[in-house]
Chains A and B, each alone.
Chain A
């Protein structure tokens, strides 16, 4: 028999390649039915609780404590009590605890990543590849400074402040916790941290890491609750407030703290300009635009939400962008192939919907790629608006969702002028193959971070923070230690 005779007819081949579901298992996460407050190394129960849910299908995950003003005072008192001995530990001893936390986070990263996606709605590939490695890296990084403060700030006698009250947002729950806790502890402070109302679970799981690392009781205290808990923390006897969140709340905090002697750092909103010159590496720029605005569903304070394209390449950029958007996979955050996950909360979804409606009404042209959104849960398709004018609300206000506004410019001067024409100043992106132009732009852009030929890239060694209504104070790097220290 020849080879040919042996060969049977081929079975018909399906034309399309549909990726089979590849869900990350949730078995690794064991949630309690109800969580208390983590104060002085103990779990304290409260009178009131509220449910925290999974935004992908609105299913309840656990009951979480609503901390009252008295509960917050308790937590601050516990932190105050712990401060004495913690601040007197040699820096090298504090570093050991921080290194231990970093290692435990790395070891338990899958568990944390799954929980982060479950409670927050972000794609597992992001919590797995971005949030968790970065969170661990922040602890590693600041652990290294703990015994070198005298060298980091020579002749300035750095001393810890005392108790830091820290209020963090829901977009990067564990990462923001790491940004806040790691430098505070390395500097010798103790903390009371309030996670966001909608995403408390990884912070509560972090308490388990704190226990595992045998951190002395009271050094880290976690209080959960809504805005009133945050307000109570601001009012309490803390020495410093570090807040990341909306500009409105940031303003209220600053008003409240004026004249109180408490230190404050604010990392607030943004409306970043992502500026694409006609000599850029085009396909990589398009990738950067996508990453700039659709990363974490656009729930990123430094998201590149205003795209400025040089008019000479406007058409190809928009064409390529739209085509690329059709390959974005929107869906179950726990599927390993998901690019865009669920919107964090109903409230946020409504805000996005309202601003998108305003954009349409103002005359901008909307494009959304065809994608089937799940019925349950909070979802919004990746969106791009063209024909946008500077005066439109979608070009002015922070949407904090997967919505991009495209504007054009003709010359570098015009790009700078338009990019800076905003009350915010957190970040900006520049896409050009010309090195001198990158430097020229970076000098003129009023933004805390200017990315060149990349976007949304973070590193613990690099300071992050804003100009104008995007806040003040820096997190990350040596700059991030300073707000947690007193100098003579």
Chain B
């Protein structure tokens, strides 16, 4: 049996009155609250502000078996300058690729400020021995990844071996060195909001810089109530320890309207401090073009056909 490790500072038994350590989530109520927040009406300047923020927070992603240096190079150009006809549209936060494509991305993005994120740890299943996962991370970092998106071992989590999940995250974090660590919970495999909260707290306690919903490889990835549960966990950790952990929903966010709903939730749950690419990312592949279309509509008053936006 794995020994439960000593929890880092801020996670000891509480001395003063505070929240139940893990706590529970009420499904009906959390879905209700998420649905309410999704009805916020964001217009005009506020909409443009949100759309530009969504771009700045975007992790432009390609995670396919068919990825090539050519494909990644094209995506990098898009990342630096999403709308070639409008230089005011900001760059995205990062490119997210498989480890083999890090060097290409690194080269194309040099000097641009756009980060290179790489998935690692036997992505997407996480079902490999720990030393393989660690090696995966070390290689990615050595090739120049600024950020590592790891997956947790859902098999271990669902069978109650939380200590194993915790230990792995701790070791991966060590292997990351200076690279930022995003911990993917793969929420659609966790089954309940209670598990999402539990896994979120576990990932943060183990040292994750970000918690991330999904690999994007499964249907039913990020949803608004799932993000809300994770944001509330982040808020609790911040209130108890002062530490600010980032949030990254990924998978299934395809429209500008949907992206704004995610941002509204962050704004009204964690506050404006989190509305920055340092603490918030949107993992997406096709979202950017819809945002560009909406931005141009806000600026020109008319929608343009998809042919006016580049597919990369």
Judge whether B17 and A19 touch: CB under 8 Å. Answer: no
- Minimum C-beta distance from A84 to chain B (A): 47
Residue of A nearest to B39 (CB): A125
Most buried by A among B30, B46, B90, B268: B46
Docked CA distance A129–B40 (Å): 13
- Minimum C-beta distance from A371 to chain B (A): 14
Docked CA distance A15–B17 (Å): 34
Most buried by B among A3, A14, A279, A285: A3
Say yes or no for A327: interface residue by CB 8 A criterion. Answer: yes
Count of interface residues, chain A, beta-carbon cutoff 8 Å = 41
Judge whether B272 and A17 touch: CB under 8 Å. Answer: yes
Among B19-27, B146-154, B251-259, the stretch that binds chain A is B19-27
Say yes or no for A254: interface residue by CB 8 A criterion. Answer: no
Q: Interface on chain A toward B: helix, strand, loop, or mixed SS?
A: loop
Residues of chain B lying within 8 A (CB to CB) of residue A14: 49
Say yes or no for A284: interface residue by CB 8 A criterion. Answer: yes
Given A4-B80, A314-B17, A316-B18, A337 and B40 contact (CB-CB distance below 8 Å): yes
Docked CA distance A22–B44 (Å): 9
Docked CA distance A177–B45 (Å): 40
Among A5-13, A60-68, A111-119, the stretch that binds chain B is A5-13
Residue of B nearest to A22 (CB): B41
Given A6-B81, A7-B80, A13-B52, A282 and B23 contact (CB-CB distance below 8 Å): yes
- Minimum C-beta distance from B41 to chain A (A): 4
Residues of chain A lying within 8 A (CB to CB) of residue B272: 15-17
Interface string of A271-287 (1 = CB under 8 A from B): 00000001111111101
Judge whether A10 and B268 touch: CB under 8 Å. Answer: no
B29-84 contacts to A (CB < 8 Å): 29-30, 32-33, 39-47, 49-50, 52-53, 56, 76-77, 80-81, 84
Interface string of A454-471 (1 = CB under 8 A from B): 100000000000000000
- Minimum C-beta distance from B57 to chain A (A): 12
Task: From B17, B263, B267, give the contact of A316 (CB < 8 A).
Answer: B17
Judge whether B80 and A17 touch: CB under 8 Å. Answer: no
Say yes or no for A336: interface residue by CB 8 A criterion. Answer: yes
Judge whether A454 and B41 touch: CB under 8 Å. Answer: no
Residues of chain A lying within 8 A (CB to CB) of residue B18: 315-316
Say yes or no for B242: interface residue by CB 8 A criterion. Answer: no
Given A17-B272, A327-B268, A454 and B29 contact (CB-CB distance below 8 Å): yes
Residues of chain B lying within 8 A (CB to CB) of residue A337: 40-41
Task: From A10, A20, A315, give the contact of B16 (CB < 8 A).
Answer: A315
Task: From A3, A283, A319, give the contact of B76 (CB < 8 A).
Answer: A3
Given A4-B111, A17-B49, A316-B18, A281 and B26 contact (CB-CB distance below 8 Å): yes
Given A6-B81, A8-B87, A453-B29, A278 and B43 contact (CB-CB distance below 8 Å): no
Residues of chain B lying within 8 A (CB to CB) of residue A313: 17, 19-20
Judge whether A336 and B41 touch: CB under 8 Å. Answer: yes
Residues of chain A lying within 8 A (CB to CB) of residue B213: none
Task: From B30, B46, B87, give the contact of A18 (CB < 8 A).
Answer: B46
Say yes or no for B112: interface residue by CB 8 A criterion. Answer: yes
- Minimum C-beta distance from A341 to chain B (A): 15
Residues of chain A lying within 8 A (CB to CB) of residue B305: none
Task: From B28, B43, B76, give the contact of A453 (CB < 8 A).
Answer: B28
- Minimum C-beta distance from A103 to chain B (A): 24
Say yes or no for A173: interface residue by CB 8 A criterion. Answer: no
Interface string of B104-146 (1 = CB under 8 A from A): 0000100110000000000000000000000000000000000
Judge whether B52 and A19 touch: CB under 8 Å. Answer: no
Say yes or no for B222: interface residue by CB 8 A criterion. Answer: no
Judge whether A7 and B42 touch: CB under 8 Å. Answer: no
Judge whether B39 and A17 touch: CB under 8 Å. Answer: no
Residues of chain A lying within 8 A (CB to CB) of residue B33: 284, 287
Judge whether A281 and B46 touch: CB under 8 Å. Answer: no
Say yes or no for B310: interface residue by CB 8 A criterion. Answer: no
Residue of B nearest to A433 (CB): B24
Say yes or no for B232: interface residue by CB 8 A criterion. Answer: yes
Say yes or no for B88: interface residue by CB 8 A criterion. Answer: yes
- Minimum C-beta distance from A336 to chain B (A): 4
Residue of B nearest to A8 (CB): B87
- Minimum C-beta distance from A14 to chain B (A): 7
Docked CA distance A21–B40 (Å): 11
Docked CA distance A352–B97 (Å): 59
Residues of chain B lying within 8 A (CB to CB) of residue A319: 239
- Minimum C-beta distance from A453 to chain B (A): 5
Residues of chain B lying within 8 A (CB to CB) of residue A327: 268
Say yes or no for A288: interface residue by CB 8 A criterion. Answer: yes
Say yes or no for A157: interface residue by CB 8 A criterion. Answer: no
Residue of B nearest to A9 (CB): B87
- Minimum C-beta distance from A109 to chain B (A): 15
- Minimum C-beta distance from B86 to chain A (A): 9
Say yes or no for A212: interface residue by CB 8 A criterion. Answer: no
Say yes or no for B285: interface residue by CB 8 A criterion. Answer: no
Judge whether B275 and A17 touch: CB under 8 Å. Answer: yes
Say yes or no for A421: interface residue by CB 8 A criterion. Answer: no
Say yes or no for B91: interface residue by CB 8 A criterion. Answer: yes
- Minimum C-beta distance from A249 to chain B (A): 34
Judge whether B88 and A281 touch: CB under 8 Å. Answer: no
Residues of chain B lying within 8 A (CB to CB) of residue A280: 24
Judge whether A287 and B29 touch: CB under 8 Å. Answer: yes
- Minimum C-beta distance from B30 to chain A (A): 6
Given A287-B33, A313-B20, A336-B39, A7 and B81 contact (CB-CB distance below 8 Å): yes
- Minimum C-beta distance from B310 to chain A (A): 12
28 contacts across the A-B interface (CB closer than 8 A): A3-B77, A3-B80, A7-B81, A8-B88, A10-B90, A16-B272, A17-B49, A17-B50, A17-B263, A17-B267, A17-B272, A18-B46, A19-B41, A19-B46, A20-B42, A20-B46, A22-B43, A278-B20, A279-B20, A280-B24, A281-B26, A281-B29, A281-B30, A283-B25, A284-B25, A284-B30, A285-B26, A287-B32
Known: A3-B81, A4-B111, A13-B53. 19 other contacts (CB 8 A): A3-B77, A6-B81, A10-B88, A10-B90, A17-B272, A20-B44, A20-B47, A22-B41, A280-B24, A281-B26, A282-B19, A284-B33, A287-B33, A313-B17, A315-B16, A315-B17, A319-B239, A336-B41, A337-B40
Q: Which 4 A-B pairs have the closest CB atoms?
A: A284-B29, A8-B87, A22-B41, A281-B26
